Chains A and B, each alone.
Chain A
Amino acid sequence: MQPKRSLEELEAIAKQIRRHIVEMTGAAKSGHPGGSLSSVEILVTLFFGGVLRHDPARPDWPERDRFILSKGHGAPALYAVLAECGYAAAPRDRLKTLRKLGSPYQGHPDKRFLPVLETSTGSLGQGLSVAMGMGFAARLNGSPSRTYVLLGDGEIQEGQIWEAAMFGAFHKIDNVAAIVDYNKMQLDGFIKDIMELEPLVAKWQAFGWHTIELDGHSIPALQAAFAQAAAVRGKPTVIIAHTVKGKGVSFMENNPKFHGVAPTPEEVELALKELA
């Protein structure tokens, strides 16, 4: 299990993850830095902040909590987190092989190359359904295992998300928490210009979910929200996490260009200075 860490320690880890993301995507010359950077505090809170019950020394522990990166293009953030956790399957010194032939760090999460993943993702809209099945089975098994699933905001335009949302409320899957990385942008531009999601909280409430809205870069707020979600009975929880795409690197913040474009060597250098 993970040691208890102070807020300062968690924020330092978040900064380290951001450096990895910039270096990895820079080295790969492709990838999705914007949506990786927006999800950093969410992932750090889960994996290092005492939320996810996991043990890097025992990745097959049956009662571990599950995490699914449904927004698979945010893979660099997850890879950096798994490497920093110390999973043997996710070596830190290979992070810069992102997107290279034979790398554990494939362009989108691929369980064949990185067996500690709970599933493979990359085609949007599917992770919430898998999480629902995991929640259903864990309850049936009498297992304390909880499942966390990170959704992109653009991703929830997919209809399957709402099939899964109906399923979760109907079957009272209260051991699953979904997080929406609400950075307000998708590949082609701003969500509001492509396919508006608002009123987003009301939508999830209408589907029967417990909702929490917060600043997705506030680790204490995220910790409190995950604690609240774990106490909710009879319905699943969704955390609407307001985030900033490209968070932490001034010229990437709120810049749709960095949805799917890697930083140049010069931009990597500039970004690392900001993240020093």
Chain B
Amino acid sequence: MALRTRFELKMGMATREAFGRALVELGRENPNVMAVDADLSKSTFTHLFAKEFPERFVSCGIAEANMVGVAAGLAGHGKIPFAASFSCFLLNKAFEQLRVTVAYPNANVKIVGTHSGISIGEDGPSQMSVEEISLACSLPGFVVLAPADEVATRALVRAAAAHVGPVFIRTGRPKAPVVYPPEQEFEIGRAIEVLEGSDLTIIANGLMVAEAIRAAELLEGEGVSARVLDMHTVKPLDREAVRRAAAETGAIVVAEEHLVDSGTGVRVAQAVVELQPCPMEFVGIQNTYAESGPPEALLEKYGLTAPHIAAAARKALARKRGR
């Protein structure tokens, strides 16, 4: 039997690079778009924007708290600032500023975290961000986005600029497999069904969308039809897509490159419990910090690859079937 899910997952650019390129595009179209950075522009790819629009690039030095306040001030004069740094520094060091000067007065500030998750690799846990989805989602009014590939990132960076209000975009360091055709459309708050399926649903975002597709292929070899949903918007969550997944497939696995007890999975579970209870399993980082190492090896060791997702799917399916 031919695998209906056979995807050619070619390697694309890192989502952080896709962000940097999308920001330059936006800068050309809208003179109010600005970049704000804290001495990591070569890593966040805002250096591309700085090169083309030096007057609209705001260097803050290594001072994330001030950077977020400055971005809020820029927004106060009608600018659309994109403040970028490693996710762990932005969300942890400047959380208080995101709360009081961005979320609370509803400032039109866009926060872009790069180097999210453990796939940054060798730099190790002090630079790894495994809690920022939780932190960003805890800010009232924030939109929280976790794009899977370069196509999704470009589209969602543009959607963030068009949205009035605070947005957090989670991007990663390593090159990411291309999941989407270039013309794919994205809407904030609307999940995308990447693969059709009827036996269970795998909900994922970021790098884990590609792993979810690979897991679906493994499962298909066993005669299991897995739906894959890209939950690129964690907040506001697409509750209707979750309800349909629960009602139509009867079992859900959530896979994320984030602490498993505080990220996308628990938010999906909240919707499932409220709307359509069904067996669920969760793939993510357990109650720990990771370590240095090659990204692929880390993802494998910490349980974030396709075989782990497939194993969770088998468990969910067994529960659904009462075994």
Contacts and interface: CB of A to CB of B under 8 A. Distances in A.
Interface stretch (A22-30, A85-93, A111-119, A211-219): A111-119
Nearest to A72: B100
A163 B75 CA distance: 19
A126 B97 contact: yes
Interface in A123-164: 123, 126-138, 140-141, 143, 145, 147, 159-160, 163-164
B66 A132 contact: yes
Contacts of A186: none
Given A160-B69, A160-B97, A120 B104 contact: yes
A221 interface: no
Nearest to A124: B100
B78 A111 contact: no
B100 A160 contact: no
A164 B100 contact: no
Contacts of A111: 104-106
A136 B60 CA distance: 12
B80 to A, nearest CB: 11
A62 B78 contact: yes
B73 A136 contact: yes
B36 to A, nearest CB: 8
Interface residues of A, number: 38
A269 to B, nearest CB: 37
Q: Which of B69, B74, B81, B106 has the most CB of A within 10 A?
A: B69
A123 B77 contact: no
A119 B78 contact: no
A243 interface: no
Nearest to A133: B73
A39 interface: no
A63 B105 CA distance: 20
28 contacts: A111-B104, A111-B106, A112-B104, A112-B106, A117-B105, A118-B76, A119-B107, A121-B100, A123-B100, A126-B96, A129-B67, A129-B97, A130-B101, A132-B66, A133-B71, A133-B76, A137-B77, A137-B78, A137-B79, A138-B77, A140-B56, A141-B77, A147-B73, A160-B63, A160-B66, A163-B61, A166-B61, A167-B61
Interface of A: 62, 66, 110-112, 117-123, 126-138, 140-141, 143, 145, 147, 159-160, 163-164, 166-167, 170-171
